[in-house]
Amino acid sequence: MKRFENKVAIITGGAQGIGKATTIKFFNEGASVAIWDIDEVKGNELCNELKSETNKVEFFKVNVANYEDVSQNVEKVISSFGKIDILINNAGITRDATLRKMTPQQWQQVMDVNLTGVFNCTQLVSSKMLEKGYGKIINASSVVGLYGNFGQTNYVATKAGVIGMTKVWARELGGKGINVNAIAPGFIATEMVKAMPENVIKMMEEKTPLKRLGTPEDIANAYIFLASEEASFINGATLSVDGGIIT
């Protein structure tokens, strides 16, 4: 039997990059997957690629920063799949600038998606998990949330905030059958990163003792582990998936 047979997973930002790799991993492990993303084209493309007779997958266009949108789509997932067992809060954006140059809009956009979005999804999905007394919630933080990073005040603030919220929710929900954990990816070879200048990529590799960038699949594997029963006694943790990065 596959690891997530008869389990239902929501993956936010699930149509591209790390989210896409995560969607594919959970699907291949037998989960019914609700792909949440704002990109309708990529979401439907991935959904159509994966559809088969033995697994269920559905795309939902969701803006995680909009509470009502999240609420409506939680109900749609329940209607389609009957329950929610796993929530992967993977969606996130960057709007980088130094402190002096960052606009209020850049600050707020990142707060809305990376922090408020995680709150919205977790509050509304956990209410459904509480009814069943079971759930796995994994939040995407980042190594920059642990160590900081030049030119990313907004992003770092949200990723540090995610770690803090994870610790709170682990205490509030742990006794009710819900594990809440976070991952902190390091330098990952997404399409956005691979488009960076070669010298920047080289610098990232040099800071990583394994001398390579991580892959989206490396992060997906961490999500898979923390959502599995093998991780049933892990709660409130932040797992660094960074190749041993040197800060």
Active site residues: 155
Taking every pair of Cα atoms in the chain, the longest distance, rounded to a whole number of angstroms, is 55
What gap in Å lies between CA 132 and CA 125, rounded to an integer? 12
What gap in Å lies between CA 135 and CA 8, rounded to an integer? 10
Going 200 to 245 to 217 to 169, the CA torsion angle's sign is: negative
Q: What is the phi/psi pair of residue 222, to 5°?
A: -65, -40
What gap in Å lies between CA 45 and CA 186, rounded to an integer? 28
Tally the residues of the chain: 247
Helix, strand, or coil (residue 8): strand
What gap in Å lies between CA 35 and CA 22, rounded to an integer? 10
Strands of the sheet with 32-37, listed across from one edge: 57-61, 32-37, 8-12, 86-89, 135-140, 178-185, 238-241
Q: How far is CA 145 from the centre of its chain?
A: 14
